[in-house]
Amino acid sequence: MTIIAITDLGGLPDDLPPAVEVAGLSLVDRIARMCLVSGVSTVVVLCDERRTASSLNDAISKATRRRGEVHVIDANDAPALLHDLHPSCVLALPAHRVFQRAVVQRAVERCAEDSSDDSLTLQPHQIERVAYTSELDWPGELAALRKRQAPTSAADARTPEGWSISLKAPSDISRAEDALFNDCRKPQDGIVSRHLNRHLSLAMSRALVSSPIGPNHISVVTFSLGIAAAVAAGVGGYTAFLLAGILYQLNSVIDGVDGELARVRYEFSVLGEWLDTVSDDLSDLLLYIGLGVGAWRTLEVGLATLGPEVWLYLGLAAGGGKLASMIVYYRWLIARGRGDLLAFEWSFKSEEPSPSPLKRALSLVHYAFRKDFIVFVAMLMAIGGVLPYLLVVLAPGNVIVAISVVLQQLRGQR
């Protein structure tokens, strides 16, 4: 199915140029990229006498053009282009609105669900379907669209589909950027992420959003911090353990930046998902092993007056359990063409009327002890000089989780 999105720059206020930047992307580039990542086949940007196609082509970035077909044309050339493209569905989006991606996704889904419904609209977001035929009176249709989608009387919209911000003047851009960044907060954020990490990472993302730094660059930085934390843990001693705890917490904070930049700038990719997932997992695995080595090297006794070798065993158990889990859910993700661990279906998260005691216990542990909480506790333990004792919880915990995901996959293969 060929779904085309049209946005008309002729409806923009005079003091709101299409090239004005909104959270790292020009206004026209944001509309085009958002449509392409939401399932639209082709984006058509209509210009007028004030803004000619030749002057606006540079406002569409190469990154956006790599995602799909974008045409910046004069409004008078639209009938010929539409005739050549022969679309199944044409969606008209007002150029003066900044949308939550879910709004445009829903419009595309509705268009795909019923390609014969010429009355499809998504109000009050002002997204509507153009009843396209080869005999369409385009000048009349465009004039009617500009009247219906005029920004003068438009207000911000919040519906079950999502939100959209109406830009009537440059002063409205800050409201749109606030909405875009606030949308990066996730319902599944843990208590530490919600009240601490996310505030810090969003401040970093706002500072970086207009820079050439992308999500994949941030993933490299977080992995480097993870390696540095593991090396410091392997050295052992109070100072090194303290440094490891601080670096581990910094890794956790910056780890949110790559996802935030990806969401705000629509820079999603399977490669980016894998970089984020692998860097997170390897950082954890290396830290557990490094912590065991550092404790073995510098602590004179282990648990319950056992020898210091017990720290090595705990570090290997924590790392081994993590590695076993990684192998299982990596195979699951690869089979489905994904790289985001959030897509993995944990069996104990399934909604059952009477879950088993084990599933209830695993679910409780999962929600109460998210990674952001564990990392923050690790930093506090490092400050208190007892960081190695984190392995006392992580070693059996990681082994139990590994056993549960292996059994889950074995049951799923029957």
pLDDT (tens digit per residue) in 137-160: 888 988 888 888 888 778 999 999
Distance CA 163, CA 183 (A): 10
Contact 5, 91 (CB under 8 A): yes
In the chain, pLDDT over 70 holds for what percent of residues? 90
DSSP state of 408: H
CATH H superfamily, domain 191-412: CDP-alcohol phosphotransferase transmembrane (TM) domain (1.20.120.1760)
DSSP state of 240: H
Predicted confidence (pLDDT) at residue 187 exceeds the cutoff of 80: yes
Average pLDDT over residues 218-226: 96
- Sign of CA pseudo-dihedral 380, 381, 385, 388: negative
pLDDT of residue 132: 83
Q: What are the b/e assignments for 80-117, b being 16+ CB within 10 Å?
A: eebeebebebbbbbbbbbbbbbebbbbbbebbeeebee
Predicted confidence (pLDDT) at residue 356 exceeds the cutoff of 80: no
Angle at which helices 238-265 and 215-235 cross, to 10° = 170
Q: Where are the domains of the chain?
A: 3-177, 191-412
Least reliable range by pLDDT among 120-124, 194-198, 374-378, 407-411: 407-411
Average pLDDT over residues 296-323: 89
**Across-strand partners of 21?**
26
Distance CA 105, CA 184 (A): 17
pLDDT of residue 116: 60
Distance CA 205, CA 260 (A): 7
Contact 218, 202 (CB under 8 A): no
Predicted confidence (pLDDT) at residue 199 exceeds the cutoff of 80: yes
Cβ of 50: how many Cβ atoms within 10 Å? 12
Secondary-structure breakdown of the chain: helix, strand, coil percentages, each rounded to the nearest 5: 60, 10, 25
pLDDT of residue 56: 82
Least reliable range by pLDDT among 139-143, 187-191, 355-359: 355-359
CATH H superfamily, domain 3-177: Spore Coat Polysaccharide Biosynthesis Protein SpsA; Chain A (3.90.550.10)
**Do strands 127-129 and 121-122 pair parallel, antiparallel, or not at all (unpaired)?**
antiparallel
Distance CA 393, CA 241 (A): 17
pLDDT of residue 151: 85
* CA dihedral of 100, 104, 106, 109, whole degrees rounded to 10: -150
Distance CA 229, CA 227 (A): 5
Distance CA 375, CA 221 (A): 17
Cβ of 37: how many Cβ atoms within 10 Å? 17
Three-state SS for 202? helix
| Site of tokens 């990542």 | 37
User: DSSP string spanning 241-287?
Assistant: HHHHHHHHHHHHHHHHHHHHHHHHHT---HHHHHHHHHHHHHHHHHH
Residue 160, amino acid:
P
Least reliable range by pLDDT among 182-186, 230-234, 369-373, 385-389: 369-373
User: DSSP string spanning 353-403?
Assistant: SS--HHHHHHHHHHHHS-HHHHHHHHHHHHHTT-GGGHHHHHHHHHHHHHH
Predicted confidence (pLDDT) at residue 345 exceeds the cutoff of 70: no
pLDDT (tens digit per residue) in 48-82: 877 778 778 888 999 999 999 999 999 889 989 98
Average pLDDT over residues 268-278: 90
Contact 7, 43 (CB under 8 A): yes
This prediction has a pTM of 0.89
pLDDT of residue 346: 60
In the chain, pLDDT over 90 holds for what percent of residues? 60
Tell me whether the CATH fold assigned to 3-177 matches the one assigned to 191-412: no
**Across-strand partners of 385?**
none
What are the angstrom distances between the C-alpha of 109 and each of 116, 122, 140?
Answer: 13, 12, 27
Predicted confidence (pLDDT) at residue 351 exceeds the cutoff of 70: no
Task: Give the helix/strand (H/E) hosting 333.
Answer: helix 309-335
Contact 91, 146 (CB under 8 A): no
Cβ of 207: how many Cβ atoms within 10 Å? 11
Three-state SS for 260? helix
| Site of tokens 């939401």 | 38
